[in-house]
Amino acid sequence: MEAVEKKKRNVSAKMTQKVPAYLVAEELDGKPVYYKGYRDVLSGTKTIEDIMGASELQSLVASVILEYLYDHLDRKKYQIASNELGLHIEKRNNLSMDVVVYEKEQFKTSPISRNYSVRPPRVVIEIDIEGDFPNQQEFANYYLKKTQKLLDFGVRQVIWFFTDVRKVVIAEPGKPWLTVDWQEEIMLFNHYRFSIKNLLESSGLPFNFEAE
């Protein structure tokens, strides 16, 4: 029995060693979070380009959110960033963000980095989860842990949009986390309100998009 277990550990270690760095989306508590579909790349059935891009739905949701932010936020006070911004939370915790909002005052304390950002955004907006998780428990553990890491880092609001179940999760430090439907309005900075359903519809995009 001991020999069998040792063999399993050796096989597992070899598989981990074979995963190249470009298939790692994030690092959470020192553990790599691989891109969804990375096993297909390793097996040769897909290329890295096949799994790296966002879906059409994710891209459209991100675009209408960005349009709203650019149209409504005080551009003299806030800076919007996207394009999978990397955040270095602490040692062995390097996370990727879909959309963030900074206060411009934050950039006066230190130069803008060519590497991962070490300053906490005021708001983080995430659209779905790109990591590869074998079961719902690991999926839940990841998004809960990532959210808490961001709040502990100093982020004031973390918002998750889940396209498959049409739900929004809003997390703020010291408050109960909320889960609401897509048609519900959510608030940014206690001032700006929007509903993702309304944003999609006002853009002329159908809300009854194809389900997975």
Same domain as 138, residue 107:
yes
Model pLDDT for residues 167-197, shown as the tens digit of each residue: 999 999 999 999 999 999 999 988 899 999 9
Structural domain that includes position 42: 2-52
Could you give phi then psi for residue 198, rounded to 5 degrees? -65, -40
Distances (CA, A) of 209 to 73, 94, 125, 188: 28, 33, 21, 26
Asked whether residue 185 is assigned to any structural domain, the reply reads yes
**HSE-up of 141 (CA within 13 Å, CB side)?**
11
Question: Percentage of the chain with pLDDT > 70?
Answer: 89
- Please give the torsion angle defined by the CA atoms of residues 196, 181, 54 and 193, in that order, rounded to the nearest 10 degrees: 30
5 has a pLDDT exceeding 70: no
Determine the straight-line distance between the first and last CA of the chain, rounded to whole angstroms. Answer: 42
Residue 4, pLDDT above cutoff 70 = no
Nearest to 98 by CA among 141, 78, 69: 69
**192-194/186-188 β-pairing:** antiparallel
At residue 131, the pLDDT reads 84
| Triad 184, 150, 72: Cα angle to 5° | 45
Q: Quick one: CA torsion of 25, 131, 32, 42, rounded to 10 degrees?
A: -80
Does residue 118 belong to any structural domain of this protein? yes
Residues 105 and 179 in one domain: yes
Domain-embedded: residue 35: yes
Total domains, the chain: 2
Does a structural domain hold residue 211? Answer: no
Supply φ then ψ for residue 75, to 5 degrees.
Answer: -70, -20
User: 168: closest CA among 153, 158, 155?
Assistant: 158
Pairing of strands 157-162, 123-127: parallel
Q: List beta partners, residue 124.
A: 100, 158
Q: Per the domain annotation, does 161 fall within a domain?
A: yes
Which CATH number do you get for residue 81? 3.90.1570.10
pLDDT value of position 74: 94
- Kindly report, residue by residue over 35-57, the tens digit of the pLDDT: 888 888 888 888 888 777 778 88
Helix then strand count (H, E) for the chain reads 6, 12
What CA–CA distance (Å, rounded) separates 123 from 159? 8
35 and 102: one domain? no
In a domain, 137, yes or no: yes
> Residue 176 falls within a domain, yes or no?
yes
